């Protein structure tokens, strides 16, 4: 089986599907991925689900299991199978204990969550699933398990709910120090490039949201920039489903004005970030062009950074300054405050020391050491 990129005939949207070796689509997966595309889930999300479900169906095929008859024990075997190196999955090869697991705990949990969502969709559409995932709560979510028909009648009775999830280490988001952010901005030779990273720094936008900005989204009199979910010619997308408005600094708007006057000129385009020195001139800047720029700046600054670090830095800076988490969540465009708290509700050793100093732990001693 393999994952194949497709273009939907009616909307011309990019999507993904899973095919057998002979080119036939894996029908249950095709139906689910088609549903995700119909409800306008991100192509990157559809692609990730396609790869996750492909792994599940390859595993089932290797054991001659029908996807509707899989049991909880099969899910456990699938987790163990994912942890094996690919060469050992289809051959009787012994794996030494010193060999590192192929899939991390985070990756395994993501795949289990995708499979859970797939089965819940099938159950809602009347597919008989035996005893597997009709009550499987997706990894990382609470209270979102599917409730069957007439749940209100049987809710007082004991119910079985299976949750399969590996314990994964919690990674703290990587943030940029002020000097590092400044070094990246100063390494930009063009105003367009400096403006792109200044937007990420000053607003906490995702790189796709910045690449999709139009001139109409900038409101200098109000000091605000709007992030609007829309189809863009460069494939850039806003992960958030709802528009949001982000206050921005006067310095950012001045840089935008300098860019429009000094480099953009009389170019006729709706997009803010466009090709100015490469063909096709005037077309919106692509993800590939943006990441080529990132690679050049990495070499120049000797910082192995990612554009998303600016977003992490923005959120962490606001929270450390005392901004309420619900305000930060709204600025970031998170669907839930819980998402913001889960990602950024951490304390570094620096934060802990600052808190201890503030309450006088090191100076106001009642016990002499």
For residues 11 and 144, membership in a common domain is answered with: yes
Contact between 276 and 192 (Cβ < 8 Å): yes
For residues 103 and 219, membership in a common domain is answered with: no
Q: What span, in angstroms and rounded, lies between the C-alpha atoms of 82 and 85?
A: 8
For residues 241 and 308, membership in a common domain is answered with: yes
Q: What span, in angstroms and rounded, lies between the C-alpha atoms of 226 and 245?
A: 4
- Assigned domain for 230 exists: yes
Average pLDDT, the chain: 82
Label residue 75 by pLDDT band (50, 70, 90): confident
Which has the minimum average pLDDT: 76-85, 156-165, 168-177, 348-357? 156-165
- Assigned domain for 246 exists: yes
pLDDT digits (tens, 9 = 90+) for 266-277: 999 999 999 999
The rounded Cα 308 to chain-centroid distance in angstroms is 10
For residues 102 and 34, membership in a common domain is answered with: yes
Q: Let me know if 226 is exposed, middle or buried by CB neighbors in 10 A (0-12, 13-18, 19+).
A: middle
Q: What span, in angstroms and rounded, lies between the C-alpha atoms of 136 and 145?
A: 6
User: Residue 27 has what pLDDT?
Assistant: 92
For residues 183 and 117, membership in a common domain is answered with: no
Q: Which domain holds residue 86?
A: 2-150
List, by residue number, the catalytic residues. 206, 239, 308, 311, 334, 344
CATH code assigned at 236: 1.10.443.10
pLDDT: which is higher, 11 or 195? 195
Above 60 in pLDDT, residue 145? Answer: no
Dihedral Cα 337, 139, 207, 319, nearest 10 deg? 30
Which has the minimum average pLDDT: 62-71, 178-187, 213-222, 305-314? 62-71
| Helix, strand, coil percent values for the chain (each to nearest 5) | 45, 5, 45
Q: For residue 285, what is the DSSP state?
A: P
pLDDT: which is higher, 361 or 82? 82
- Assigned domain for 89 exists: yes
For residues 126 and 186, membership in a common domain is answered with: no
Whether the upstream peptide bond of residue 265 has omega within 30° of 0, thus cis, is: no
Q: For the chain, what is the domain count?
A: 2
pLDDT: which is higher, 85 or 349? 85
The rounded Cα 310 to chain-centroid distance in angstroms is 15
Return the ∠ at Cα 77 (arms to 75 and 63), rounded to 5°.
95
DSSP string, 145-188: ----TTHHHHTTS-----------PPPPPP---HHHHHHHHHT-
Q: Which two tokens stand for residue 190?
A: 């063009």
Dihedral Cα 263, 266, 268, 270, nearest 10 deg? 60
What is the total residue count of the chain?
Answer: 369
User: Residue 213 has what pLDDT?
Assistant: 96
Which has the minimum average pLDDT: 100-114, 184-198, 226-240, 308-322? 100-114
Q: What span, in angstroms and rounded, lies between the C-alpha atoms of 77 and 362?
A: 52
Q: Within 13 Å, how many C-alpha atoms sit on residue 319's CB side? A: 25
Helix (H) or strand (E) holding 349: helix 349-358
pLDDT: which is higher, 74 or 14? 74
Q: Which two tokens stand for residue 171?
A: 């990674």
For residues 42 and 125, membership in a common domain is answered with: yes
- Assigned domain for 231 exists: yes
CATH code assigned at 119: 1.10.150.130
Coil, strand or helix at 128 = coil
């Amino acid at each position: 089986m393999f994952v194949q990129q497709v273009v939907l005939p009616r909307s011309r949207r990019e999507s993904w599907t899973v095919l057998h070796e002979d080119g036939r689509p894996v029908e249950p997966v095709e139906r689910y991925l088609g549903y995700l595309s119909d409800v306008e889930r991100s192509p990157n999300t559809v692609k990730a689900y396609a790869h996750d479900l492909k792994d599940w169906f390859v595993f089932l095929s290797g054991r001659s299991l029908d996807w509707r008859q899989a049991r909880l024990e099969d899910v456990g075997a699938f987790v163990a199978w994912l942890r094996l190196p690919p060469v050992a999955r289809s051959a009787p090869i012994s794996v030494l204990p010193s060999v590192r697991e192929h899939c991390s705990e985070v990756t395994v949990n993501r795949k289990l969550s995708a499979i859970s969502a797939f089965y819940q969709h099938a159950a809602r559409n009347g597919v008989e699933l035996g005893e597997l995932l009709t009550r499987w709560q997706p990894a990382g979510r609470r209270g979102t398990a599917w409730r069957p028909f007439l749940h209100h009648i049987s809710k007082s009775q004991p119910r079985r709910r299976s949750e399969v999830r590996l314990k994964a280490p919690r990674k703290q988001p990587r943030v940029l120090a002020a000097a590092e952010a400044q070094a990246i901005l100063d390494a930009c030779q063009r105003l367009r490039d400096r403006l792109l990273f200044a937007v990420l720094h000053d607003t906490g936008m995702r790189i796709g949201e910045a690449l999709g900005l139009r001139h109409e989204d900038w409101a200098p009199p109000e000091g605000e920039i709007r992030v609007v979910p829309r189809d863009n010619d460069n494939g850039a997308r806003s992960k958030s489903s709802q528009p949001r408005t982000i206050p921005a600094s006067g310095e950012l708007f001045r840089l935008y004005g300098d860019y429009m006057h000094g480099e953009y000129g009389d170019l006729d385009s709706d997009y803010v970030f466009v090709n100015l020195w490469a063909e096709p001139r005037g077309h919106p800047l692509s993800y590939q062009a943006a990441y080529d720029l990132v690679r050049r700046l990495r070499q120049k600054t000797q910082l192995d950074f990612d554009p998303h670090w600016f977003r992490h830095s923005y959120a962490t800076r606001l929270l450390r300054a005392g901004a309420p988490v619900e305000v930060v969540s709204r600025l970031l465009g998170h669907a839930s405050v819980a998402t913001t708290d889960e990602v950024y509700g951490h304390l570094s050793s620096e934060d802990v020391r600052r808190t201890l100093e503030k309450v006088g732990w090191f100076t106001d001693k009642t016990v002499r050491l």
